[in-house]
Amino acid sequence: MIVFPHAKINLGLNVTEKRSDGFHNIESILYPVNLKDALEIIPAKDKKTDFFQFGEKIPKSDKPNLCIQAYSVLEDKYKLPPVKIYLYKKIPAGAGLGGGSSNAAFTLKALNKMFELGIDSELTDYAAKLGSDCAFFVYEKPKLAKGRGEVLSDINVSVQSSHIVLIKPPIHINTAEAYSLVEPAVPEKSIEKIINQDISTWKDELKNDFEGPVFNKYPYIKKIKETLYNNGAFYSSLSGSGSSVYGLFKNKVSVSWMKLFKDCFVFESEINSF
């Protein structure tokens, strides 16, 4: 079975509270985008479960890949047979795009369908055990995320038919460090309220709390956002804790100015419905 785990962007991200368990409560809208990996799962003829990335077998470790962790979550309860999992990455790692979480969630969904397990609502519970935003990727539509990111509710927002330019510089942001630099606070106006305003207000009001500390430490990432606005984006933001920055445009974007970022991963696409 082959599936295509997709990335996400954050439309606004407020870090509202430090929790007693060491995590943080957030408020954000998670929006799916068409940047995708390829994930294939097949029965293991040699009766051994293995994980391959770009065709290369990855040795077992104390902290296995999230795809293997997802398999393990279902293995005991549903007596799954051994499988081979092949992952071909296009979503960059350490980018704030949820690539690893998406791989894990799509592994759960693929195994559920492949072995006809009949798991329904519990699938999000299994996903939430694997990571804060894993549960989002069980769905194929935007969600308002609260709690650690696993408390999801429907949200009426669409930037369909817009075009996205996503730029990931060769910079890795440590998520734990990024959280440590943010001062949690409940904003005066919620993301849910801002998102329902005229889209022209997003630039000034729809914020990502990680931008301040990330831009201070990495001015190049701030420059990417400024360049996206200077070339016609109606909204631009850091995604997650970075280091990816995206811009939303009303029309297809000329690629000429993107050459400014020749050292970066650049993705451009129309945002289609999910």
In percent, how much of the chain has pLDDT > 70?
99
Give the Cα separation of 146 and 179 in Å (integer): 16
pLDDT at 254: 77
Which of 8, 36, 168, 207 is labelled catalytic?
A: 8
Measured from the Cβ of residue 160, the count of other Cβ atoms closer than 10 Å reads: 10
Q: Which helix (H) or strand (E) holds 237?
A: strand 235-238
CA distance 218 to 241: 12
159-182: per-residue pLDDT in tens? 877 999 999 999 999 888 899 999
pLDDT of residue 271: 85
Residue 119: pLDDT band (50, 70, 90) is very high
Is the torsion defined by CA of 175, 180, 186, 188 positive or negative?
Answer: negative
- Rounded Cα distance, 269 and 224, in Å: 18
Return the percentage of the chain with pLDDT > 90, whole number.
Answer: 84
Give me the mean pLDDT over the 194-212 stretch. 96
CA gap 43, 48 in Å, rounded: 9
For residue 258, what pLDDT is reported? 76
Residue-level pLDDT at 255: 67
pLDDT greater at residue 21 or residue 102: 102
Mean confidence (pLDDT) of the chain: 93
Instruction: Report the distance separating Cα 30 and Cα 239, nearest Å.
Output: 10
Which candidate, 13, 125, 21, 16, places its Cα nearest to that of 74? 125
Rounded-to-integer distance, Cα 195 and Cα 205, Å? 9
Task: Please name each of the domains of the chain with its CATH number.
Answer: 2-154 (3.30.230.10), 163-270 (3.30.70.890)
pTM recorded for the entire structure: 0.94
Indicate which residue of 133, 143, 207, 225 is catalytic. Answer: 133
How many beta carbons lie within 10 A of that of residue 259, not counting itself? 8
User: What order of strands is seen across the sheet that includes strand 56-57?
Assistant: 2-3, 38-43, 83-88, 50-53, 56-57
217 is catalytic: no
Residue environment code for 99-115, b if the CB has 16+ CB neighbours within 10 A, otherwise e: bbbbbbbbbbbbbbeeb
- Considering only 33-37, 60-64, 190-194, 244-248, which range has the smallest mean pLDDT? 60-64
pLDDT value at 229 more than 90: yes
Active site residue 89: no
pLDDT for 274: 54
CA distance 168 to 242: 8
Instruction: Tell me the mean pLDDT in the region 108-130.
Output: 95
Amino acid at 163: H
**pLDDT: is 62 or 31 the higher one?**
31
Q: Two tokens at 143?
A: 């969600």
Mean local confidence (pLDDT), 120-137: 93
What is the predicted pLDDT for the residue at 9?
Answer: 97
Pairing relation of β-strands 50-53 and 83-88?
A: parallel
Q: Average pLDDT, stretch 205-217?
A: 97
What residue type is assigned to position 223 of the chain?
K
On whether the CB atoms of residues 14 and 149 are closer than 8 A, the answer is no
Residue 191's pLDDT is 96
What value does the mean pLDDT take over residues 24-53? Answer: 96
At 104, the pLDDT band (50, 70, 90 cuts) reads: very high
pLDDT reported for residue 273: 57
pLDDT tens for each residue of 43-71: 999 999 999 999 999 998 878 899 999 99
Looking at residue 5, its amino acid is P
